[in-house]
Structure 1
Amino acid sequence: MTERYMVDFGGDGGGEGELSWGQQDIWRAMVRQESWIPNGAWGPLPEGTTLDEIRDRLRYLMSRFPTARTRLRLRPGQEPVQIVADAGEVPLDVFDAAAADPERIRLKLQNDPYDFERDWPIRMAAIRHGDAYTHLVVVMCHLVTDGFGAGVLLEELDKRPETPVPDLQPLEQARWQASASGQRQHAMALRHWDGILREMPLRRYPESRAPQAPRHWRGEFQSPALSMALRSITARTGIPAAPVLLAVFAIALARVTGLNPVVVRPMVNNRFRPGLDRVVCMLAQYGLCRLDVAGVTFADAFERARRSALSTYKHAYYDPAGLDALVDRVSAERPGLQLPCYFNDRRDDAATAGAPVPDPADVAAAAGGGTFTWTTRQDVPFEPLIVHVDELPGATQAIVFCDTHVIAPDDVEALLRGLEAVAVEAALDPGAPTAVA
């Protein structure tokens, strides 16, 4: 770091209170993974950008969004309390280009120690080449927002609206969640989970044949054929992209594990709920979805996923502490119960909107061309199995985090390659059987 500037800020919505359900969920993930789960990005600055303009951008971000001004008070044996500041100062770091590149600075900001009680959840740095500011790097704690809220944050940071932020910020969410209405929602969600947890097979994965050291691995799979096939399926069946990919994942998982019905925990953004669509906060929670994909055609499986997704979305808004207590009770009654994997479809439909429907011959020709790479091996824990899916230019990407003591690396790779295989088969003939027994 060459220089550090302190940027003052002030905004509405200050106060303290319990964490909202979405904040509790991501906090528990942070504890399990021993990480503040930072999200970071960098990009070029317009030519002629001044230091004052960068300060103004950071000031606007901190002032407008209450979650950017939120720190925690930790309580041993209890959930933390969130504290939203009315005002304060946040550092802006400047690095000279001779000693820095944007990606290295992003990694530095993400890897530097983080104090939930003292640090602001936003870290920003500018890179300077001579007298010109060339790049901006931003890293934020996952307590600030989920991916959908990040889209709102970036849009407003660009347009700088002065309209009030939505009323249902996390402090107000937590108050509603503690009310009679919120508790009815929670109770309804638990009934949904309870029914599936008591019926699902105990094991969700084949026994790992190859536990590794380091134990926890991360891999990436990129496939042009998967992207083309998914567009073709939605065009031919009329079923939305999200349930199509959910069904493709379920079929691929059933083929690898030999287990059906498939039970998956898909990420649900919860922004279809009144008043929550434009809130910059951690709102998404994992639902629980049961899908029977055996003895049917691909088209049938997609329709089943469409119907099941509606119920899953409805019941993915709950108190994580209450859910953990339910899981503990059911696990005591069903020793050996293994919770299903997480599945996070992060694709933006706008990324492929208007793209032509691929010709079947082109889909077939691209089959088998996906590339898989293990990128990280570490002892710091991930979840046992979690798959994130993103749309890249010309390809669909699946990122997997796994515990090799739970599921073998070869099975994980087969699962991701299976996404491509299933999607291509279905794109070429939606009426063909899923080949799941």
Structure 2
Amino acid sequence: MRTEGEAADAAEVGGAAGSAGPVVPAAAERVAVDFAGEGEGLEEMSWGMWEIWQAMGRQRNQLPIGGRSPVEPGTTLDDLAAELRYLMERFPSMRTRLRFAPGGRALQQLFSAGQVTLEVYDAPADADPLEVAAAVEERYCSEPFDFAGQWPVRMAAVRQHGRPVQRVTVMHHLVTDGLGGAIMLGQVRARNTEPVGGMQQLEQARWQRSAEGRRQSERALRHFEGVLRSMPAQQLPGPTDPREPRHWGAQFHSAALTAALPAIAARTGTAVPGILLGLFAVGLYRATGISPVVVRPVVNNRFRAVFADVVCMVAQAGVCAVDVAGASAAEAVERAGRGSTTAYRHAYFDPEALDELVERVSIERGEDANIRTYFNNRSTYALPAETGREMDPQELAGELRAASRDTVFHWFAREEAQRERFFVHVDDTPEGGLRFEIRVDTHYVSPAQAEAFAYAMEAAAIEAALGEGAAQEVEGETAGTPAPGMVAEAAAGSE
């Protein structure tokens, strides 16, 4: 059976459809950077690579990661070339390309040596170099990668008055997941020189074919099968208010939700990832009325010792069903905390075998058994050290009441680019809070339902922190908050 990953070729997995790319100045220089690292070989793609390759195929996007950043004063082009050389030599995933076997199947090929290019762009004396860097970044992200013929990284220096002032580094998502990217940045800053540890991609692929690897995948798929056979036929509302462009993106900032987390942890004994998953489940249930909430939480898998410090794709999406109907917010959080532990333990598996399982269950049930609801907690938020200290309920209610007045929900994208049906990312903010990015296919979740989901998460956080009665008092005193759906209707009116 051909999987979505096998069917996706370089054209399908290219940049955003219809994007002509930004206008950027021509490169003033191209610095050739030679590198030589350890290891080489040809293997099947690892499970983590397969999963993100499938996602890239579904979304017809290379899902680029990276960005731009200022360079330290005094940094030279030689310094940036040395940084690029370090990246290529230290991390095997940076020296990995795809090779397409007869029939189109993608394999990974690790090279021990090669040459990569550092591009240099000059910003005019009266220009903002950040704008030049942004244009280069946008081009790097939108221009399709040649997965077989190019290295998976693009790096540029933006120079002004003869010295580098900005760097731009963009990779396609086969290189690493979010936590791997953070590990990479930390090692680049420290210039670690000891040998890289952990199980790298070629070794992962070999282990996954072993008897132990097959047993791991089979255990995980038994968990998936239990959810697939018992989940409700309808996971999302469907086309109640389909829009064109079809895919919408919103950001949601709630200081009240973040401020409630320590109290929720103290009341429920649940860690932050479980709390956030529980609030997600309550929010989606209250916005759609569908329970249990079936979701695929993205799991970084770094709790597995062999992956603790690796820079490659090992994150995979597990599966969790949270029964929310009739539960208080605190009860739902506790259920999600228990369910997430099971989901995380079973989030390492063969994606091709999962495709076969989903296809078989779909035929047996007579309905689509694909799950396209995702929750990706990318935050590093940690509870304050004083968590556990009992806070005066009146004081906490006052804090949450004040914080909820600053809640912001806004749509920032309406596009035809292919997306999943419902995908929520959680990221850190520079101020130490959390930001939710909500991506919806409006043929499955309407704009008003997406907005209602966001405000329902905040309300559930306040309820779980204070108890239902006290939470209702707080909600009653923040009547100035836009009613869920108002922002979506305003956005529709502006089309």
TM range (shorter): over 0.9
Query: Does the CA-based 8 Å contact 2:256-2:400 persist in structure 1?
Result: yes
In structure 2, what is the Cα distance between the partners aligned to 1:431 and 1:166? 52
**Counterpart selection for 1:345 from 370, 377, 381:** 377
> Cα 1:84–1:229, aligned 2, differ >3 Å: closer, same or farther?
same
**Partner of residue 390 from structure 1, selected from 419, 422, 427:** 427
2:280: which partner in 1?
Answer: 249
SS at match of 1:154: helix
How far apart are the structure 1 equivalents of 2:303 and 2:224?
Answer: 20
**Where in structure 2 are the equivalents of 1:15-30 lying within 5 Å?**
15-30=41-56
CA contact (8 A) 2:422 2:439 kept: yes
Question: What displacement does 1:415 show?
Answer: 1.3
1:119 corresponds in structure 2 to 150
Question: Counterpart of 1:12?
Answer: 38
TM-superposed CA distance for 1:272, in Å, is 1.2
Pairing 1:408–2:439 present: no
Pick aligned residue for 2:76 from 29, 37, 50? 50
Change in CA separation of 1:319 and 1:87 when aligned onto 2, cut-off 3 Å? same
Give unmatched runs, 5+ long, in structure 1.
none
Range moving further from structure 2, 82-91 or 255-264? 255-264
- Mapped to 2, the partners of 1:67 and 1:340 lie a distance apart of 28
For residue 305 of structure 2, give the secondary structure of its aligned residue in structure 1.
Answer: coil
| Amino acid in the other structure paired with 1:373 | H
- CA displacement at 1:340 relative to structure 2: 4.7
Q: CA deviation at 1:160?
A: 1.0
Instruction: Choose 296-305 or 130-139, whichever is displaced more.
Output: 296-305
Asked whether 1:179 is paired with 2:202, we answer no
Instruction: Quote the residue 1:420 is aligned against.
Output: 458
User: Cα distance, 1:384 vs. partner?
Assistant: 1.1
- Alpha-carbon shift at residue 260 of structure 1 (Å): 1.4
Aligned match for 1:334, one of 342, 353, 365: 365
Question: 1:336, CA displacement in angstroms?
Answer: 2.8
Listed as ranges, the matches of 1:34-49 within 5 Å are 34-49=60-75
**Counterpart code for 2:413:** T
Per-residue deviation at 1:256?
A: 1.3
Return the letter of the residue paired with 1:84: L
What is the TM-score of this pair, normalised by structure 2?
A: 0.83
Partner of 2:59: 33
Q: Does 1:61 align with 2:90?
A: no
Asked whether 1:276 is paired with 2:307, we answer yes
Of the structure 1 ranges 300-309 and 282-291, higher mean CA displacement relative to structure 2 is found in: 300-309
Amino acid at match of 1:380: A
Bigger shift: 417-426 or 291-300?
291-300
Equivalent position SS for 2:243? coil
Decide whether aligned partners of structure 1 residues 431 and 372 sit closer, same or farther in structure 2, where only a CA change above 3 A counts.
closer
Deviation at 1:431, TM superposition (A): 8.9
Match of 1:371 in 2: 408
How far the C-alpha of 1:294 sits from its partner, in A, is: 2.6
User: C-alpha distance in 2, partners of 1:76/1:113?
Assistant: 22
Give the deviation of 1:430 after TM superposition: 7.0
Residue of structure 2 in register with 1:88 after alignment: 114
Could you tell me which residue of structure 1 aligns to residue 486 of structure 2?
none
Equivalent pairs, count:
433
Equivalent residue, structure 1, for 2:11: none
* Mean CA deviation greater in 172-181 or 35-44: 35-44
Structure-2 separation of matches of 1:336 and 1:270 = 31
Paired residue for 1:152? Answer: 183
Q: Work out whether residues 372 and 420 of structure 2, in 8 Å CA contact, stay in contact via their aligned partners in 1.
A: no
Q: 1:340 to 1:113 in 2, by over 3 A?
A: closer
Runs of 4+ with deviation above 6 angstroms: 355-358, 430-434
Q: CA deviation at 1:281?
A: 0.4
Give the corresponding residue for 1:429: 467
TM-score (norm 1): 0.94
Counterpart Cα distance in 1 of 2:468 and 2:39:
51
Which residue identity is paired with 2:422?
A: L
Asked whether the 8 Å contact 2:373–2:422 carries over to 1, the reply is yes
Q: Structure 2 vs 1, CA of residues 56 and 221 (structure 1 numbering), >3 Å: closer, same or farther?
A: same
> Percentage identity across aligned positions?
45
Q: Structure 2 counterpart of 1:381, which letter?
A: Q
The residue type equivalent to 1:302 in the other structure is V
Point out which structure has higher relative CO (alpha carbons under 8 A, 6+ apart): 1
* Residue matched to 2:237: 206
| Structure 1, 40-49 or 372-381: larger mean CA deviation | 372-381
Structure 1 segment 158-197 matched on structure 2, within 5 A? 158-197=189-228
SS in 1 for 2:306: coil
Amino acid at match of 2:310: V
CA deviations over 1:380-414 (Å, ceiling 9, x no partner)? 20111111011212532111222111221211121
The AA in structure 1 aligned to 2:83 is: R
Unaligned runs of 5+ in 2: 1-26, 473-495
Residue identity in the other structure for 2:404 = A
